[in-house]
Amino acid sequence: MYIHLDGNSLTLEQCRQVATSADARVQLTPGAVAAIQRSRTLVDNWVETGKVIYGVTTGFGEFANVSIPRGDLERLQENLVTSHSVGSGRWLPRDIVRGMMLLRINALAKGLSGVRIQTVETLIAMLNNDLVPAVPEQGSVGSSGDLVQLSHIALAVIGKGRCLTPSGDVEPSATALARHGMEPVRLQAKEGLALINGTQMMCSFGALAVEKALHLADVADITGALSLDALRGTDRAFDERLHKARGFTGQLHVAHRLRSLLHGSAIRESHRTGDGRVQDAYSLRCMPQVHGASRDAVNYVASVIGIELNSANDNPLIFPDTEEHIEGGNFHGQPLALALDFLAIACAEFANISERRTERMVNGALSNGLPRFLAHNGGLNSGMMIAQYSAASIVSENKVLCHPASVDSIPTSANQEDHNSMGSIAAQKAWKVVNNLEIVLAIELLCAAQAIDFLHQLKVPLYSSDALERVHSSIRSVVPFNDADRELYTDVEHIRQLIANGTIVQAVGNEVFA
């Protein structure tokens, strides 16, 4: 499978495919090759005539006023990459780094950065051969882009860095390149700067996080519907007329989904009359409002990331049509920082309301007749008591992670770079919250399936809708009914995998999620 890169048409789905699968391959379109060559020709001409251009014939940052002799221009670019490789902490996951490589190639494919085609092709060859540079997670302030992390990728390209092995160890990049018959790149004018100036780390995290969040938004609706039926709640609060009266897109979407998921439920029919409860608690009744608001937020973030996937975020940018170079700040991560803080908040709210539904199912005073803690032979067995503890812990962790990174700024480079976005921190926090949400939803599904089983076991068995019973069956295919206390870690992990591989969404069928 080849994905053709032209700098303008990369999608979130393609980004996920390349980031997560070593089988995915990329190549430049003929138009991208021509665009890269046009801008490189212009850079070569400028160097030949001794034109003063930031980062090409001058130093960087506060050293922008220092002219560099022509004979030192290659060394200037290598020194840039070497000096900026100051990351700390653990290595970034392979899929994040693969995403970074893809995004940098796509940005260079726009033909506005002035690199040689050979340099881009080396980066492509590394990606296609799954040569993944070892990149530390810490060190970016999110303006001038993710300089530190991109420098570690560039360091591997020039044969001075390290690459991750499939086992998680590291080896010299020169060794990895040689094994595949590849020569390290000798950087020429502008190339080091073009490789490291950009938002690719925060954007890679953001692309994978928002793709996952879009999926988890669907899972949250399914999970909430199953919990509502387990608690014998009403679907009247999901009436379309009610939600049209407010008009938010996400709210209308979620209400429609919940009506579809619950359609035909015998559990719902069993208490349509004679039920003394006037209305359900907010965690059930307000799912369209809460899920819908988070869904709208996730969609907004997806739109921001979708733009950045195909952006030119180098500095300076080169415009061959007018033979101009323009110094600016497209590397600044503020658009992503704000959006990624929003993504963390939106996903934390999905988790918050999920944990409250779990609490209602395990709390005998709130569960509408379900056994306390959903325990079979309660007292001897604790049932799902501590499953809710675990969800509560994760939800609390999310609240700390949702403190916005984008409101902070620490000046760098002798105050030349006096406002920084901290977008890389926002990105990593958002990634953590999204993955935490997946676990919280898995815990809710574990409890909801247990509750539905107790309704199945009534003297007159009660069953949910066909769609939700298929979800229940998919859970029971990997996690049996809990009739005696056992280690729940494994149960939660099995259900999390069902969420991650799409089984839960697929189980409801196209007629519901069309």
- List, by residue number, the catalytic residues: 54
- Token pair recorded at residue 129: 């051969």
Q: Give the C-alpha separation, 365 to 202, whole Å.
A: 45
Q: Give the C-alpha separation, 44 to 37, whole Å.
A: 10
- Please state the separation of Cα 488 from the chain's center in Å: 27
Q: Looking at residue 198, what DSSP letter applies? A: B
HEC profile of 323-373:
CEEECCCCCCCHHHHHHHHHHHHHHHHHHHHHHHHHHHHHCCCCCCCCCHH
Secondary structure of residue 185 in the 3-state scheme: coil
The residues facing 28 across adjacent strands are: 5
- Please state the separation of Cα 430 from the chain's center in Å: 7
Which residues are CB-contacts of 210 (< 8 A; sequence separation ≥ 6)? Answer: 12, 298, 301, 302, 305, 343
Closest Cα to residue 193, out of 44, 55, 381? 55
For residues 172 and 156, the answer to whether their CB atoms sit within 8 Å is no
